Amino acid sequence: MIINRGITKCGDFEFHWGTRTYVMGILNTSPESFSGDGISGPETALVQAQKMVADGADILDVGGESTKPGYQPIPVEEELRRVIPVIEKIAPVISVPISVDTTKYEVALQAIKAGAKIINDQWGLKKGPKLAALAAEKHIPIILMSNQRDKGGFDKGVQRDGSIYSDVITEVISSLTYSLKTASEAGVKKENIILDPGIGFGKTWQQDIEIVRRMKELSVLGRPVLLGPSRKSLIKMILNLPANDRVEGTAAVIAIGIANGADIVRVHDVKQIARVCKMSDAIVRGI
């Protein structure tokens, strides 16, 4: 049974949590992307954005900095150069909300001015706490992810306080509880907070699989959940396929994730996964 988490408003768009699974299409402007899907410029981005919307995307997530393991952070000026022209190009044309995938306050601010309606923070306010105040000021949703790459990395068996971890879901819930509290204290309304367990971010592939298997336990946090397994290493380790050939593996994870409570799925292959969501929703939600 899928739990109804109410409604989140995003401009003229409304997310009615629990009624269906929403599809977030990945619009990557980083040439360092692990899956090789980086976009070369605004014109190319517009073509891809329009195709994703036609294929069933409910949100487009625009990001300019690679977050693959071992990535090198880029200066804010470079991230702005990659991201803002793309959002300026697509925002007046497409009919779905745009999220900006960033941890930098200035990038998020300029993206909102350019037309973005959601902030997607892959560090859950641990690196950019001012993003919460920005979301509160602009009255827009913010996605907060559980990321264990800091202070040794959860995948090495070490928690942030230096102790050995015992349970991945316990750690994820603890991390998201911190992010949720930080956002709330900054004035972000509860209905504008979305949580992401952070598949691939400081967890082993075995831990990622366990998260998908036990996602129902995240319901204690009381907020909608985004699942982002698209083309990631948990699929590579099982199927031994290159990044651009992992759509079936992604589909399997998505279907089970929906059965276990996912409200949004973040994916590269929108057309195929939108169909998976529709079929999974028919079974899980009875629609």
Residues tagged active-site:
232, 266
Strands (DSSP E) found in the chain: 7-10, 13-16, 22-28, 59-63, 98-101, 118-121, 142-145, 193-196, 226-227, 264-267
Rounded distance, CA 80 to CA 103, Å?
Answer: 12
Contact status, residue 147 vs residue 124, Cβ threshold 8 Å: yes
Percent composition of the chain: helix, strand, coil (DSSP 3-state, to 5) = 45, 15, 40
Residue type, position 195, single letter: L
Rounded distance, CA 133 to CA 113, Å?
Answer: 16
Residue type, position 18, single letter: G
Residue type, position 218, single letter: L
230 contacts: CB under 8 Å, gap ≥ 6: 26, 35, 246, 250, 265, 266, 267, 268, 269, 273
* CA nearest neighbour of 121 among 205, 188, 51: 188
Rounded distance, CA 44 to CA 69, Å?
Answer: 26
3-state secondary structure of 55: helix
3-state secondary structure of 91: coil
